């Protein structure tokens, strides 16, 4: 296992990764205060090579993980040995494992591994729900930011459940597009095709075929990451 690199106050060793500065966990906290918080909680940075495990299924959840560089996958293996992708993270500043930090569970149900060479910041979970001895002035904002992140994740999962409840793939797609239509009949997909397929619980080829059929039927048009709803009434009929 690689050696951890701790954040230091000594300017000659001062280091702050840009992914930390852009992470929503540290929103509205000045850079110097972020470093003080990381020092206070003894946050540490870990480097991984491709296919290295970040944590194993059954490990005890003791940290919140912040992706600094690279790509990480959270997976679970079926009894037959098939790997099921639960979530993937590739943007610097993404958090993973944070839900377990506040669950009364003694072990992870999943494992996390590096898809590419990666760097991850480990933040002890106890720092988020205990007052530190140094009485950091921005500790409260950090905790509030985490609550907002968890609340949004709960909302996201609730929305996903609504989409997955569709009886057919077409129903799921219609529900997704109608939900994200802001009134101009254009939906900018924040996910790529593979991520959207995973979100809807289908295969990527199945999603692409259904998109193409709906385009041929004049229901939608697709250009790059933008879906234009051409027949909103018919799309609503698919949803209902």
Q: Which of 104, 95, 103, 101 is nearest to 124 (CA)?
A: 101
What phi-psi label fits residue 169: left (phi over 0), alpha (psi between -120 and 50 degrees) or beta? alpha
Q: Which of 48, 93, 44, 43 is nearest to 68 (CA)?
A: 93
Tokens of residue 149, six digits: 């992140």
In the predicted model, is pLDDT for residue 17 greater than 90?
no
Mean pLDDT over each residue of the chain, to the nearest integer: 84
pLDDT by residue (tens digit) across 112-171?
Answer: 999 999 999 999 998 887 766 666 678 888 889 999 999 888 877 777 676 666 678 888
This prediction's pTM: 0.68
């Amino acid at each position: 296992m690689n050696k951890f690199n701790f954040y230091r106050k000594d300017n000659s060793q001062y280091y702050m990764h840009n992914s930390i500065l852009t992470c929503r966990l540290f929103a509205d906290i000045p850079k110097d205060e972020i470093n003080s918080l990381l020092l206070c909680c003894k946050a540490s940075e870990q480097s991984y090579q491709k296919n290295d495990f970040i944590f194993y299924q059954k490990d005890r959840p003791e940290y919140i993980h912040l992706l600094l560089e690279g790509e990480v996958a959270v997976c679970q293996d079926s009894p037959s040995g098939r790997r099921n992708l639960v979530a993937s993270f590739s943007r610097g500043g993404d958090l993973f494992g944070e839900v377990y930090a506040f669950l009364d569970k003694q072990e992870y149900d999943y494992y996390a591994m590096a898809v590419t060479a990666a760097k991850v910041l480990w933040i002890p979970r106890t720092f988020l729900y205990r007052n530190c001895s140094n009485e950091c002035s921005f500790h409260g904002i950090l905790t509030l930011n985490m609550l907002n992140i968890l609340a949004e994740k709960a909302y996201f999962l609730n929305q996903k459940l609504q989409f997955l409840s569709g009886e057919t793939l077409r129903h799921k797609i219609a529900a997704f597009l109608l939900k994200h239509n802001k009134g101009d009949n254009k939906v900018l997909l924040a996910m790529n095709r593979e991520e959207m397929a995973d979100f809807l619980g289908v295969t990527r080829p199945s999603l692409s075929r259904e998109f193409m059929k709906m385009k041929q039927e004049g229901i939608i048009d697709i250009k790059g990451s933008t879906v234009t709803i051409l027949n909103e009434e018919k799309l609503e009929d698919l949803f209902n």
